[in-house]
Amino acid sequence: MTEICKVKSEGLIDYDDASELQKRLHGGVADGTLPNQLLLLEHPHIYTLGRRAKMSDILATDEFLSKERVRVHRTDRGGEVTYHGPGQLVAYPIVNIKRWGGGPLKFVRALEQTVIATLGELGIVANSQDCPTGVWVDDAKIAAIGVRISRGTTTHGVSLNVDPNLSFFDHIVPCGMADLKVTAISELAQDGMRIDQVIPVFVRNFGRTFGFQME
């Protein structure tokens, strides 16, 4: 029987509110009272630090953070430092991977493949690497991945640069890589692209890759 995954598009939502929503849904997905969930959203400007991140990877001055109203927040996901902001599609899959039938690595690879297939439909050739995680177009990173798994169920997920202000990445050491280049769909697609145009393509490929019925 094909597993169901419920899609929730939340628009622009504060990071803390999104975290609370994930926590509320996580328990139900973990104990089987809720189907798998896919949250799709954007965040106001924020730098998040994963479990391996160092504060020294935040290069932004206090003046910059205050002027641009950028928060700095330590999270319980894996990975290093990244940026979230308007124009970036953030997908938080809350998936019971025990029921799905895969482990952490298979889950991360499936997220990467979802993004690669999505970009392929938009005419962009992308790839993943054995290490580090994420999705790349040539030598520039277009999507970052950081997840947490507890009770066999995931939270956090993937951020895909659609049309964000990429200059915010200049004020961190993204993913712990000092020379990392970043790019966005808007820089690569002929006619540009909006998040509302990317979402249905992403949802379709997420369902195909994970074998879910998306609702």
Q: Which of 25, 175, 184, 188 is catalytic?
A: 175
* Cα separation, 208 vs 113, whole angstroms: 10
SS (H, E, C) 119-166: HHHCCCCCECCCCCCCEEECCEEEEEEEEEEECCEEEEEEEEECCCCH
Is 175 one of the catalytic residues? yes
Catalytic residues: 175
